[in-house]
Structure 1
């Protein structure tokens, strides 16, 4: 009879546990976020201290983040020249109180809306124009261009309203909107007609105001002979670009003497250089 043998059950080995890596994807993400927060706080340390500690006795009711950015940008450009722009939307301004931002950054120029379209005069233009003169600001006047109205009629509206003198800035054409019933090429023809008419009248080349995207997409290449005042409110844009004559970097400024929020601007040069930009005769 054959001998039967019993097999021993196989030895079960405990599965080897893989050691968890200290640098897991979750850890890396958290570390990046913490580092980003740290460097962000360090980068904006002066602005944060200024608006969130004891550097000001002003009770801020508006967006503190926006105010911190304003401080940061002005501080980074303190070798340049600061100004603002106004229209009827700022209401009646107490010009005798207007001279600086937070008693720290002196204001030297103001751009004032004079007209819009082919028939509108800004309701506060005359008051603002005279008030700015009394405060010895370098002042400029701008026209808000309506793409769907006749360009030459708009130019005549501006010329009829604005009397520029020695020491004033060149006239400004404000173009922000795209046309509804004409092509971009037709719009550009209209803009050139306005610029040419105004240039012939004042004997000085106008400045063009627009947003950065509008500037890059439609105006930069075809209007190379002109200087530009560019609006960009992006929180992460901190420096004026070389091809911007003026930079409107916020619409949330607070200035003593003005009850409403106001646009703050930087001129890409020193106060003396700004004087050279003004009309000389």
Structure 2
């Protein structure tokens, strides 16, 4: 046999890309850090007014002792309140706030006067709020504009729920219109039937008090289910999101926080802004 020619393949040595990967990692890492730092500084600048109040800075830059105990939620509360200068501010309470010393309930953050309070009266077709009568009288004695609300249970008879509210709440001149609080999704009925029940409650209560009720709900619930079909009613909307800083034009009230501190009340309390000043708020009360 003849000799076979052996062809040797050249071994191509690839340059290591470990250095490239390492530098890519460092670049990504520091880019993320830089982004977070800029985001933090940007938020600090955006909330500079709230932060200044939060730390109680004065012209001489003295930091008060209590500043360290403040919470981030307080910063947003201050920012929102400053964005709504001149608007009427209020709270809402139920038995969950326990014993309220109404004579001390006057301001928020010792700066913003409280003008009104919504008080839970009834739940479903069979339950009274344990503190309603006490809170209803206490708010009146403290000269706060008061309103009563009913927590609606979708799977219970709507007219029975309306009658319970009517039997419990006696509105007087200067009180706010009754409120229907709808937050739950129905379990054993369709949304169509839920809306029928809500309309029956609203109609019955309006017939009794001779004033159109207000509807309370979350912003998403409002947008998805109620906004169009209940457009004849005024809405009190709950939204605690950090990005939300101003009340919508079509909202009557905005519940912007569930974590505020008020003299005379232990623990957190919800805070609300009325889309107008005190005089305009008095205009919508029962005559």
| Length-normalised TM-score, structure 2 | 0.85
* CA 1:149–1:57: 2 relative to 1, 3 Å: farther
* CA 1:201–1:106: 2 relative to 1, 3 Å: same
* CA 1:53–1:60: 2 relative to 1, 3 Å: closer
- After TM superposition, list the pairs within 5 Å mapping 1:97-112 onto structure 2: 97-112=104-119
Q: Is the 8 A contact 2:55 2:68 kept in 1?
A: no
Q: Is the 8 A contact 2:260 2:269 kept in 1?
A: yes
Is residue 224 from structure 1 mapped to residue 231 from structure 2 by the alignment?
A: yes
How far is 1:34 from its partner? Answer: 3.2
Q: 1:50 maps to which residue?
A: 53
Q: Is the 8 A contact 1:210 1:231 kept in 2?
A: yes
Q: 1:66 aligns with which of 35, 58, 73?
A: 73
Cα distance in structure 2, aligned partners of 1:29 and 1:172: 47
The total of aligned residue pairs comes to 261
* Cα shift readout 1:103-159 (whole Å, capped 9, x = no counterpart): 200000000000011011111001111111011111100000001110000000000
Q: 1:182 aligns with which of 181, 189, 198?
A: 189
Q: Is the 8 A contact 1:94 1:258 kept in 2?
A: yes
Q: 2:174 maps to which residue?
A: 167
Structure 1 unmatched ranges of 5 or more? 1-19
Cα distance in structure 2, aligned partners of 1:90 and 1:232: 20
Is residue 83 from structure 1 mapped to residue 83 from structure 2 by the alignment?
A: no
Q: 1:246 aligns with which of 246, 253, 268?
A: 253
Cα distance in structure 2, aligned partners of 1:158 and 1:276: 24
Question: Aligned to 2:79, what secondary structure does the other structure show?
Answer: helix
Question: Aligned to 2:113, what secondary structure does the other structure show?
Answer: strand
How far is 1:30 from its partner? Answer: 4.6
* Cα shift readout 1:55-109 (whole Å, capped 9, x = no counterpart): 6857479761111111111111122110000000000100000000122000000
Q: Is the 8 A contact 1:91 1:260 kept in 2?
A: no
Cα distance in structure 2, aligned partners of 1:165 and 1:102: 30
* CA 1:27–1:58: 2 relative to 1, 3 Å: closer
Q: Is the 8 A contact 2:55 2:67 kept in 1?
A: no
Cα distance in structure 2, aligned partners of 1:200 and 1:58: 54
How far is 1:46 from its partner? Answer: 1.8
Q: Is the 8 A contact 2:89 2:114 kept in 1?
A: yes
Structure 2 unmatched ranges of 5 or more? 1-22
Question: Aligned to 2:286, what secondary structure does the other structure show?
Answer: coil
Cα distance in structure 2, aligned partners of 1:90 and 1:31: 43
